[in-house]
Amino acid sequence: MIVYYSRTGNTKSLAEFLKDQLSAEIQEIKTNIEEKGKINFIRAGWQAVKKFCPELSPIRVDLGRYDLVLIGTPVWALTMASPIRSFLKTYHSKLPAVGFFATMGKVGSESTFAHMADLVGKKPLACLAVSEQAIKSGSFQPKAKEFVISVRTYLEKKMCHNILLGDNSKQGKI
Ligand SMILES: Cc1cc2nc3c(=O)[nH]c(=O)nc-3n(C[C@H](O)[C@H](O)[C@H](O)COP(=O)(O)O)c2cc1C
């Protein structure tokens, strides 16, 4: 399962790419807050700094059905976007293994991933950071494919493990 938030489409492009590569299910996180425009850009930055958790639109996903959830965010003020903070605070106890991906102008992915790992309470099995420029030019693909390989390797091992345990319910499900 891929869960992501995207205000202007960059993280969405990356999430869709990963979805196609991994044949994963996908869920976009949304809020009821108006997000476009300069005022809302400033508000988004302020909310990220203040660790504000906006209310999310309802999510109808049973996270327990998956072996792995990939969580994607834009970098906001060197941390995760506030809707992803809300998601992690609400659902951290239901998350299986996780991987993180982020898009950004230039900097802040490492602190973002560290803050996300703190909220989830476990280390991600892989992380992928891509610049906005690389998304727009398409040059992100080789790096994203390396991430996909790490994820696939994890899922294959998980599937073998599940079979050995006689658990046919997930079979490396993403
Ligand atoms: C409020 C706000 C804060 C941002 N802070 C950073 C930052 O700290 N570092 C950075 O490299 N880019 C920063 N950016 C740029 C975004 O991370 C980048 O444009 C990202 O690709 C947007 O993803 P999206 O199109 O999925 O919303 C910021 C953007 C916004 C709106």
76, part of any domain: yes
Backbone angle region of 37, left / alpha / beta, with phi > 0 → left and psi within -120 to 50 → alpha: left
Q: Is 13 in the pocket of ligand 1 (CB under 6 A)?
A: no
> Is residue 1 over pLDDT 90?
yes
53, part of any domain: yes
Which residues form the domain of 89? 2-164
pLDDT 10s digits, 24-57: 999 999 998 777 888 888 999 999 999 999 999 9
Give the position, in ligand 1's atom list, of the atom nearest the Cα of 107: 11
| Number of folded domains that form the chain | 1
Burial of 169 (0-12, 13-18, 19+ CB in 10 A): exposed
Q: Give CA–CA dist 19/32, Å, rounded.
A: 25
Residue nearest to atom 10 of ligand 1 (CA): 105
Give the position, in ligand 1's atom list, of the atom nearest the Cα of 13: 26
174, part of any domain: no
Which CATH number is 130's domain given? 3.40.50.360
Confidence class for position 121, pLDDT limits 50, 70, 90? very high
Residue nearest to atom 28 of ligand 1 (CA): 76
Token representation of residue 8 = 């202007």
Q: What is the mean pLDDT of residues 149-173?
A: 81
**Under 8 Å between Cβ of 109 and 41:** no
63, part of any domain: yes
123, part of any domain: yes
**Under 8 Å between Cβ of 99 and 70:** yes
115, part of any domain: yes
pLDDT 10s digits, 59-103: 888 998 999 999 999 999 999 999 999 999 999 999 999 999 999
Q: Is 47 in the pocket of ligand 1 (CB under 6 A)?
A: no
Question: What kind and span of H or E run contains 68?
Answer: strand 68-76
172, part of any domain: no
Q: Is the pTM of this model over 0.85?
A: yes
171, part of any domain: no
